[in-house]
Structure formats: structure tokens, C-alpha cells
Chains A and B, each alone.
Chain A
């Protein structure tokens, strides 16, 4: 609505006004103005997504060298994940909603990861951290599953061997954009190149 009256920014005045509100002393016009200044209108999904993205619970799961960088992200005071609300690591998949797949996925481990993923409750997201979890990395041989997206739907791929902690945090921020419903489309957004994604028929959404 059109606001023609002056915005009262003085802290003391605001405090007194809040005090009056609590006592029930504000009259109609003042009360309306008070409430309007503090009201946000949004869709339910947006609010829900905002709550979800700012409070991710990662599953404490690390496989190989990328796990060291992941623990550095979670545990080091320099790059720490608590700024993003994701510091509460849950070691049981029932209470976690973010699976950071950090490290090489061997054929012996793959069914176990799938079981962990199945035990997580909706909504859940997966970040594939590092080159070995996204593709086979540098190990293109008999004992690795070439990319965890063969058996898991992955939301964000973070490349690197191992990715720097800042890169993992960037990946988590991209995931937060995706949760919010406004996924970061990168260069397609910058160059207005929507419609150039490659899709082949039969590409199932796992």
C-alpha cells in the first residue's frame, strides 16, 4: 500500500511503540501501521522451503578422502557449516535429510548407500561431492560404480579431487537455491539460453 507517512526509524520511538502494543494501548491506525510493518505475505511453499533450506541436517557419512574435506567443512572454525544452519549432523538416516556422498563408491558399498538413502525420510537431497562420486573420478576400473547417479538421484554435483571446502559450501548454497524453488541455472540464465538442455527419450527420472 502507499505509504505517505514518515517511517519512524528512531530506535527509542520503536521501543516505546512496541511497549504500547504489548500493553494494548495502540489505537486503530497506529495498530494497523504497526502490524503492516511486520507482516510478510508469501506462499506456504516458499516459507516451507525457506525453513527447509536453512536447517539442513546432513547425514554423517564419509567414504574416502573427500570425507576429510567434508569434516573440515563441518568441523573447522574457518569454513564452517553452522553459518548455514547445517551443523546438526545426524548419524541416523531416519533423522537426516541431506546425504553428502563424499568419496569413492565401490561395488561393495553401493547397496549399503542405497539402503541408507531409502531409510531417509522425504524430503531428502543428495550432494555428490568429489569426482569419484559424480563419475568414476580417476579410477575407471572394475571395483567402482562410475558415479553414484547410477543408483541414487543426485541434486548437486560438486567437482574436485577433493573439492575445496569453499567449493562444497558453494555446492550447498546451490542446493539451497534448488530447495527454494529457484534453481541456479548458471550460464543458461546469464546468456538466456533456456531450452538447450539435452534430454533423450527414455531418460527416466530416478
Chain B
């Protein structure tokens, strides 16, 4: 690494350039925004984070300020890099699900879904319809939970602290539902290759319907609190503008792209897992500012409520995981009677299933955008490469564009509405 010195300035030197002692000195070249004339002694490069109350996780932003106006932002990431992708190469395919779930840690079902779909594509197996509907129901509930948490912390950043209590309160209801169906609130390892690990318990549907009844009223409550609040509107309207072309160039997807007016939603455009059976709308914004992102998220929650209701209404009977015994564990009552079931169970638990060589890339629509999973299989029981194209990683590239020439307060609102999840950014 030492022979490849990228900007000509080693890292420690660059870090020293942002301390107070060097304020009056010549800036270390390559660290500051390009300046015109002799304005550079008005520019101050400071560090936002990695520990800061207004960052969603450990995001470090090297901001160049001129007074209160942000001139340039350089995000520095990698503080939660866990080497998940490398660890996955050492685990069996079904164990990788637990690793991949922990990347984007608010939208855990989506990570597992993308990975399971990629492996199912490689194995060329069918997911039974009941499993598809259950997956859709869980994913949409997770979308509601993720948006609630994003709005809760975003409102906390902007000062509307009541939203934190309300968002967490409703999120607890959703996590109760997850706990009822799979046993764990967060990272439940519910999706497996071929379906879901277990059928929903009796009473789950009733509880979900109770939740779905109160959710639209709660959304109206939030809008009542925030949407008519002069401070909230002034802070969000007109700030963090990004044009549709620039967003498309930067690969931004999800609510940020839909807020600019582009109706790209993978659930509608390239439907997967029986999303085409459901009737829902895709909310889009008009201007591409922070207010549109906020409204798009609220409306998406409303649509998710509709989808879950339709999924529960139309839930088909049948198996919840594929019948292919080479991939999915046989039901336990068969182990007492059938020798093949015993052997399959043994092989699956000790070695895992083998996947024929190939490569697959599958994308799902997570609450932050397009979440893609690229799996390379080499014929053994462990994947050769698992890569997750995380939406927050790509969306973060739009932050300098959004924050250019805005005040610090608007910059904080941009980060709040961008909703990055650093676990996914760093993996």
C-alpha cells in the first residue's frame, strides 16, 4: 500500500490538517475544497463525527464551512466495517443468512430476502405461494418499522423529540409481531432458502390486523403533529434539493429518487415474490427536497399497510418452505419413519446444501432503495463470494450535492432525510 500514495499526502498528515493549530497555516493540498481568489482563509474544515448526535451511526463528514454555509462535504466511512462479505465465504449457505441480515440492520428481512432469492435462483427452486405471501407480509411490516425509525431519529435530529417516542412506540408493536412469528425482534433469521423457516402461529393474523387497524390513525397523528408545524415545514421545504438527472446519475434509488418525481419502484417494475398480485400505489414527490422525502415515506407506510392487509386476506394454504429435501430441512415427524429424511437432515445440518456453480444478482426494493445481492457459487457448500449492493452506500454519494451551499441546519436535515444506515454502508 505504501508505494501507492494516492493524493500525494499520507493519511496522518491529512488528519493533522484539520486541527486547530493549523488554522492560520497553508492548507494541506488535497484536503480542502477548491477556492477562488484569496477566500481560503474564510473556509474552515471541521469534522462532523464519527461520534456526533446528528449522525445516524458512525459517519464522519469532513465539512468545509464558510461561516454557517457548507461549501463541501466529504463523507468518510468504514468505522463499522465488519468484513461480513469475507466472513460469508467461510460459512454454509444457510448460515450466511444470519450474517447478511446484519448489514442493513433496520431492514433485516430485505437483506435476507435478496440473498435467499439469489441462492434460489442459483439452485433453480420454486418458493411455494404461501411462503411468498408470508415473505411479503413480513417485508412490508419491516418497511413500516424501518420508516418509523428513520422518521423518529430524523425528527430527533431536527428537534421534534415527540416523534421519537411515538415512532419507537409503534415500532415496538411491529417488533412484537416479529417476535410472535419468529421468536426474535431483530435479526430473526426467518427467511430461509426456499421459503420461510416456520409457519406463522395461530393468532398472529389477528394481532396483525389489530395493528393494521390503528396504523393509519397513527400516521394521521404524526402528520397532525409535524405536517402543520411551521418550523418543520420551513426546515424541510426547499432544502436538500437534488435534480432527477443528478439522482439517476448517482445511482440513487428508493424514496430519494421517488421524491424527485421518478416512479421507479422494483416492486412494480420488476415484481418478485408475487408482488404483482397486490394492488398498491407508489407515492412520488414533486420537487426532490427534504419535505418530499418525508411525505413519500409516510405515504409508503400507508401503502404497506394496504399490502399487508391484502397479503393476509389472500394467504394461500400450503407448505411454507420448498419440498426439495436437498435444500430444506424435512419436517421433524418424518425423521422417525423415513431413512432418507434422516440422511437429508444430517447432511443439511452438518455440511449444508451444495449449489451448482454459477453467479446470480438479485435486487429487491428495500426501504432505502435497491438492495442487490450478488452470489457466486462454486459447487461447494459455501459461497465463493457474497456481495450486497447496499442502497445507503450509493445514496451517500448524493450528500455532497444535496448539502452544497446550504446552512448547517439544512445539512443536518439532509442527513436526517437521507436516512443512511451505516451498517449497510460499511458492511
Q: Which residues of A contact B (CB under 8 A)?
A: 60-65, 67-69, 71-72, 75-78, 91, 103-104, 106, 108-109, 112, 116, 132, 138-144, 161-162, 164
Which of B83, B172, B186 is A76 in contact with, Cβ under 8 Å?
A: B172
Which of A61, A64, A68 is B80 in contact with, Cβ under 8 Å?
A: A64
B63 within 8 A of A: no
Is the pair B187, A109 in contact by a Cβ cutoff of 8 Å? no
Contacts A108-B79, A112-B51, A144-B82; is A162 near B186 (CB within 8 Å)? Answer: yes
Residues in chain A near residue B86, CB distance under 8 A: 141-142
**Chain B interface residue count, Cβ-Cβ cutoff 8 angstroms:** 36
Is the pair B164, A139 in contact by a Cβ cutoff of 8 Å? no
Residues in chain A near residue B172, CB distance under 8 A: 72, 76, 78
Is the pair B58, A63 in contact by a Cβ cutoff of 8 Å? yes
Q: How far is the CB of B167 from chain A (nearest CB, A)?
A: 8
CA distance A61 to B172 in the complex (A): 21
Which of A60, A68, A139, A144 is B105 in contact with, Cβ under 8 Å?
A: A68
Contacts A61-B51, A112-B50; is A72 near B80 (CB within 8 Å)? Answer: no
Is the pair A65, B186 in contact by a Cβ cutoff of 8 Å? yes
Residue of A nearest to B156 (CB): A75
Can you show 27 pairs from A to B with CB atoms below 8 A apart?
Answer: A63-B79, A64-B57, A64-B423, A68-B105, A69-B185, A72-B172, A75-B152, A75-B165, A78-B169, A91-B53, A103-B80, A106-B80, A106-B81, A108-B78, A109-B50, A109-B58, A112-B51, A138-B87, A139-B82, A139-B99, A141-B82, A141-B87, A142-B86, A143-B82, A143-B83, A144-B82, A162-B187
B147-170 interface bits toward A, Cβ cutoff 8 Å, 1 = contact, 0 = none: 001001100100000001100110
Residue of A nearest to B175 (CB): A72
B256 within 8 A of A: no
Is the pair B168, A65 in contact by a Cβ cutoff of 8 Å? no
Which of B51, B83, B168, B426 is A71 in contact with, Cβ under 8 Å?
A: B168
Is the pair A63, B80 in contact by a Cβ cutoff of 8 Å? yes
B293 within 8 A of A: no
Residues in chain A near residue B171, CB distance under 8 A: 72, 76
CA distance A112 to B51 in the complex (A): 8
Which of B81, B152, B169 is A108 in contact with, Cβ under 8 Å?
A: B81
Residue of B nearest to A92 (CB): B53
Residues in chain B near residue A109, CB distance under 8 A: 50, 58, 79-80
CA distance A132 to B83 in the complex (A): 13
Residue of A nearest to B170 (CB): A76
Residues in chain B near residue A69, CB distance under 8 A: 185-186
B363 within 8 A of A: no
Contacts A69-B186, A75-B152; is A112 near B84 (CB within 8 Å)? Answer: no
CA distance A103 to B186 in the complex (A): 14
Is the pair B58, A68 in contact by a Cβ cutoff of 8 Å? no
Q: Which residues of B contact A (CB under 8 A)?
A: 50-53, 57-58, 78-84, 86-87, 98-99, 102, 105-106, 149, 152-153, 156, 164-165, 168-169, 171-172, 185-187, 422-423, 426
Residues in chain A near residue B153, CB distance under 8 A: 71
Residues in chain B near residue A104, CB distance under 8 A: 80, 82
Is the pair B79, A106 in contact by a Cβ cutoff of 8 Å? yes
Residues in chain A near residue B84, CB distance under 8 A: 139
Q: A141-B87, A144-B83 are in contact. List 15 more A-B contacts (CB 8 A).
A: A60-B53, A65-B102, A65-B186, A68-B186, A72-B171, A75-B152, A75-B165, A91-B53, A106-B81, A106-B82, A109-B58, A139-B84, A142-B86, A143-B82, A162-B186
Is the pair A65, B82 in contact by a Cβ cutoff of 8 Å? no
Most buried by A among B57, B82, B98: B82
Is the pair A141, B83 in contact by a Cβ cutoff of 8 Å? yes
Compute the total of residue contacts between A and B using a CB distance below 8 Å.
93
Q: How far is the CB of B82 from chain A (nearest CB, A)?
A: 5
Q: How far is the CB of A125 from chain B (nearest CB, A)?
A: 18
CA distance A113 to B150 in the complex (A): 25
Contacts A65-B186, A68-B106, A164-B185; is A77 near B165 (CB within 8 Å)? Answer: yes
Is the pair B51, A72 in contact by a Cβ cutoff of 8 Å? no
Residue of B nearest to A67 (CB): B57
CA distance A64 to B186 in the complex (A): 12
- List of 6 A-B pairs having minimum Cβ-Cβ separation, nearest first: A65-B105, A76-B168, A143-B83, A91-B53, A141-B83, A109-B79
CA distance A164 to B296 in the complex (A): 31
Residue of A nearest to B101 (CB): A65
Is the pair A76, B165 in contact by a Cβ cutoff of 8 Å? yes
Is the pair A63, B81 in contact by a Cβ cutoff of 8 Å? no
Is the pair B79, A112 in contact by a Cβ cutoff of 8 Å? yes
Residues in chain B near residue A75, CB distance under 8 A: 152, 156, 164-165, 168
CA distance A61 to B83 in the complex (A): 22
Q: How far is the CB of A22 from chain B (nearest CB, A)?
A: 40
Is the pair A62, B57 in contact by a Cβ cutoff of 8 Å? yes
Contacts A63-B58, A68-B106, A75-B168; is A138 near B98 (CB within 8 Å)? Answer: yes
Contacts A63-B58, A68-B149; is A139 near B83 (CB within 8 Å)? Answer: yes
CA distance A164 to B52 in the complex (A): 25
Which of B53, B87, B105, B168 is A77 in contact with, Cβ under 8 Å?
A: B168
Is the pair B423, A77 in contact by a Cβ cutoff of 8 Å? no
CA distance A46 to B102 in the complex (A): 43
Is the pair B80, A161 in contact by a Cβ cutoff of 8 Å? no
CA distance A62 to B105 in the complex (A): 13
Residue of B nearest to A140 (CB): B87
Q: How far is the CB of B386 from chain A (nearest CB, A)?
A: 14
CA distance A72 to B80 in the complex (A): 20
Residues in chain B near residue A138, CB distance under 8 A: 87, 98-99
Q: How far is the CB of A134 from chain B (nearest CB, A)?
A: 15
Q: How far is the CB of A21 from chain B (nearest CB, A)?
A: 42
Residues in chain A near residue B52, CB distance under 8 A: 91
Residues in chain B near residue A132, CB distance under 8 A: 82
Residue of B nearest to A91 (CB): B53
